[in-house]
Amino acid sequence: MIEIPESTIISEQATKMLTGKVVSDVINATSPHRFAWFNGDAQRYPDLLIGKTVEGVKGYGSFIDICFDSEIHLTISDGTNMKYYTSVEKCPAKFQLLVAFEDGSYLVFTVAMYGNILAFRGKLDNAYYTGSIEKVSPMTETFDFSFFCRLIEGVKRDMSVKALLATEQRIPGLGNGVLQDILFNARIHPKRKISTLNAEDKQILFHSIKDTLSDMIVKGGRDTEKDFLGNAGRYRCILSKNTYAKPCVCCGSRLIKEAYLGGSVYYCPNCQH
């Protein structure tokens, strides 16, 4: 899934590798997918994209936005995977969209469970997309401790910490994936009510958001996700689907996996309160 580390890393990689390339061909889905969402009719994507030059690639929250000349965009989010291939690499048989460039390189877009692949000119009428651009990213200086406290004060007191941080897109790109290590590093339970957080807890949680996300970005993304070239990141997730069967790295206790608020949460019942 695309969350803050992935949108940051992939947009940086893609900007370096794609800027200046001209689209020569667009091939629609070879493997139609019920939950691959396009902006209107995907059959018009070739008309929108062919002949356009990549001007840069931006990452916002859970979105990656390829910007072309003439205000054309190709934007992906959440569960869409975008991988870069050189002209000599073998093309996969199944994909939801392929964009080829004049130099023979190409991009392959695939969707696992669900995901957006949105081509458009000008502006996109999508609340999550505009929210990702307009809301304050936790990686900026504007997102400081007083900003974080105002965020907490702006929601219901009986809300849980997971609901605060990773639902309703309050913090764009902070999703259920990165949430797990943020809470583990803060030693805070995902179901903890925000009304029970004292000033010190809030400081610890604030710094864990900043530090955990920075660590993920510095290490090229999470090891559970792929980058623009299809390589896994070097940040080793403490809590993920790959690690929850192992004992807690801190105390050795058995970790818990539970379905909670749209997605599994993993936590150590001994370390996180």
In the complex, minimum distance from the CB of residue 244 to Zn ion, in angstroms, rounded to a whole number: 12
Residue 207's SS3 state is helix
Comparison of 230 and 252: residue with beta carbon closer to Zn ion: 252
Number of Cβ atoms within 10 Å of the Cβ of 29: 18
Closest by CA position to 222, among listed 255, 181, 169: 181
CA distance 208 to 220: 18
Amino acid at residue number 141: E
Distance of CA 127 to the CA centre of its chain: 16
221 CB neighbour count, 10 Å cutoff: 26
Q: State the minimum distance, in angstroms, from the CB of residue 247 to Zn ion.
A: 8
Per CB under 5 A, the segment of 159-167, 169-177, 223-231, 245-253 that binds Zn ion is 245-253
Q: Which stretch binds Zn ion (CB under 5 A): 22-30, 44-52, 219-227, 246-254?
A: 246-254
Task: Select the span of 76-84, 101-109, 172-180, 263-271 touching Zn ion (CB under 5 A).
Answer: 263-271
Question: Of residues 174, 186, 248, 265, which one binds Zn ion by CB under 5 A?
Answer: 248
Neighbours of 199 (CB within 10 A): 9
Give yes or no for residue 268 binding Zn ion (CB under 5 A).
yes
d(CA 27, CA 114): 20
Nearer to Zn ion, 112 or 250 (CB): 250
> CB neighbours of 78 closer than 8 A, spacing ≥ 6?
1, 2, 62, 114, 115, 116
Region from 4-12, 100-108, 173-181, 261-269 binding Zn ion, contact rule CB under 5 A: 261-269
Q: What amino acid is encoded at 184 in this protein?
A: F
Q: Which of 121, 251, 257, 273 binds Zn ion (CB under 5 A)?
A: 251
Q: Which residue in the set 91, 155, 229, 250 belongs to the binding site for Zn ion (CB under 5 A)?
A: 250
Rank residues 88 and 245 by Cβ distance to Zn ion and give the closer one.
Answer: 245
Interface stretch with Zn ion, choices 105-113, 137-145, 182-190, 244-252 (CB under 5 A):
244-252
Residue 258: CB minimum distance to Zn ion, A:
16
Q: Does 261 bind Zn ion (CB under 5 A)?
A: no
Contact 243, 169 (CB under 8 A): no
- How far is Cα of residue 208 from the mean position of the Cα atoms in its chain? 18
Exactly one of 24, 126, 214, 270 binds Zn ion (CB under 5 A); that residue is: 270
Using rule CB under 5 A, residue 126 touches Zn ion: no
CA neighbor of 171 nearest in space, from 203, 134, 141, 201: 134
Helix (H, G, I), strand (E, B) or coil at 187: coil
Query: Which residues contribute to the site for Zn ion (CB under 5 A)?
Result: 248, 250-251, 253, 268, 270-271
